[in-house]
Structure 1
Amino acid sequence: MAKVVFRDPLTPYTSIEHTISEYLFSQETEFQQIDFFRTPEFGTVLALGGVVNVTERDEVGYHEMIAHVPMFAHPAPKRVLIIGGGDGGTLREVTRHPGLEEAVLVEIDEVVVEKSKEFLPVTACGFDHPKSRTIIGDGLAYVRDAEAASFDVILVDSTDPVDAGVELFTPAFYRDCHRVLRPNGILVPQSDSVLYYPERVAGIARNLREIFASVDFYTTHVPTYPGGLWTFAFASKGPHPFAHVDALRVQSMVAELDYYNLDLHRAAFALPTRYRRVVEQL
């Protein structure tokens, strides 16, 4: 019997092949191609636009780090906005925080949300949390129209800064985010692969520094993403990324986590020299 594989293009010249044990769902919506399938090594996989987006085996490295680094760095995050993140993993992590009052997730493609509930319940469980609210709509428009100083943390859990996703990485969008954030507010956008796409990461750094006085970068390990090392920007209106993290707050939650911890929070901001030059424009 012939082996069926999904080829994930990391770049035009490099790809990863996933052996498919069962194809679960495939549909092209008005926004993107959506595929769910099972693999022997990484469990259920969600691919968007022909690119692996989530796998059961390594999703925690992404979702715990995009969420908990800013949530613990902020002294009291009450309202959180998630742009994208239709698989629900980032929402799941945000709703773990007991001080949260509301988490609003804005996802443009309803099919991603509904099929993640069906095929990826391990990430989509956050949709059922009583403090969560899901809006199917355009994240750009939502932020543009949002009330000033209405959120403590904004997480941009989007596709990469190509094609339509480019608009979520512009100075105009970051300026809207800055306006919507409260004093001490934090913006964390996923920021691509610094190994394969250093020019994208450098562009994000430049655009954020036009708007925010404090901009840092940190990384996490996601083996199925290009290069295995993924980058997040940390743009703040106040809090330092780790100077004021409450160790007792972290300790009260760390037993229910699989990736994030206090030591890793600090270490994630220690970048190799080559990558530091990229984000510091040296």
Structure 2
Amino acid sequence: MVEEATLVEIDNSVIELSKKYLPHMACSYDNPKVKVVLQDGFKFLKDCASKEESQKYGVIITDSSDPEGPAENFFTENYYQLLYDALTPDGVATSMASENIWLNIKKLAHLRKAASQVFPVARVSNCTIPTYTSGQIAILCCAKNSHVDVSTPIRTVTESKEGILFKYYNHQIHSASFVLPTWAKNIIYQ
């Protein structure tokens, strides 16, 4: 159960524009469990790393822009170390890799390798997103504990509940997203 969700955003206009143009998606800002922090994500993570375990995060999701240009620091071993240090012992981190197996697999392999220098578990999930080039995006899923299998949902609900709660997601889709073609797996995990 989610006790609190912290959104860290450096630019308040992103939040204001999402409220204005995406009101059906921005309604979560009004949820009492949501805490919005207007701050640079790197500074936030550095501060979090020095906190007690009880103030660290079980899950950290990074949704940044592409790994080239201004956001490239979100795709380095240093950033993965900040994520690692801000997590609880069984914590997981996900990061949009902004690459996919069809367009830049060497970059994707490089990102996974950088994450694996820090995390004992660093897996690539290949997700269907129709609006992205080639219709797919890769997500890097990392776990601080080597015994965590990110390809298996930690919590599950019955299939009938899945049909009520979700339009797309289910436990089979979750697990299947980690299955890569042999040629891609050989490059990414070499």
TM-score normalised to structure 2 length: 0.89
Q: Distance in 2 between matches of 1:253 and 1:272?
A: 27
Residue of structure 2 aligned with 1:215, choices 122, 126, 151? 122
Q: Is the 8 A contact 1:193 1:227 kept in 2?
A: no
Residue of structure 2 aligned with 1:276, choices 180, 185, 188? 185
Q: Distance in 2 between matches of 1:253 and 1:129?
A: 23
Q: Is 1:140 matched with 2:47?
A: no
Cα separation, partners in 2 of 1:247 and 1:188, compared to 1, 3 Å: same
Q: Distance in 2 between matches of 1:279 and 1:148?
A: 35
Could you tell me which runs of 5 or more consecutive residues in structure 1 were left unpaired when the two chains were aligned. Answer: 1-98
Deviation at 1:277, TM superposition (A): 2.3
Deviation at 1:244, TM superposition (A): 6.0
Determine the structure 2 residue equivalent to 1:228: 135
Cα RMSD between the aligned structures?
A: 1.8
Q: Distance in 2 between matches of 1:228 and 1:244?
A: 24
Q: Is the 8 A contact 1:107 1:136 kept in 2?
A: yes
SS at the partner of 1:270? coil
**Structure ID, larger Rg:** 1
Cα separation, partners in 2 of 1:122 and 1:112, compared to 1, 3 Å: same
Q: Is 1:256 matched with 2:168?
A: no
Structure 1 runs, 4 residues or longer, greater than 6 Å off: none
Q: Is the 8 A contact 2:116 2:122 kept in 1?
A: yes
Q: Is the 8 A contact 1:154 1:177 kept in 2?
A: yes
Could you tell me which runs of 5 or more consecutive residues in structure 2 were left unpaired when the two chains were aligned. Answer: none
1:187-206 to 2 correspondences below 5 Å: 187-194=93-100, 195-206=102-113
Deviation at 1:125, TM superposition (A): 1.6
Determine the structure 2 residue equivalent to 1:171: 77
Question: How many pairs align?
Answer: 183
Cα separation, partners in 2 of 1:158 and 1:244, compared to 1, 3 Å: closer
- The one-character-per-residue Cα deviations of 1:122-178 (angstroms, maximum 9, x if unpaired) are 221211111001111211111011125410001011111111101111111111111
Q: Distance in 2 between matches of 1:273 and 1:152?
A: 32
The structure richer in helix per residue is 2
Determine the structure 2 residue equivalent to 1:109: 11
Q: Distance in 2 between matches of 1:152 and 1:254?
A: 26
Q: Distance in 1 between matches of 2:135 and 2:88?
A: 33
Determine the structure 2 residue equivalent to 1:160: 66
Q: Distance in 1 between matches of 2:70 and 2:63?
A: 14
Q: Is the 8 A contact 2:106 2:188 kept in 1?
A: no
- The one-character-per-residue Cα deviations of 1:168-218 (angstroms, maximum 9, x if unpaired) are 111111111111100110010001222212232112111101001111111
The structure richer in strand per residue is 1
Cα separation, partners in 2 of 1:256 and 1:280, compared to 1, 3 Å: same
Deviation at 1:253, TM superposition (A): 5.3
TM-score normalised to structure 1 length: 0.61
Residue identity over aligned pairs, in percent, reads 28
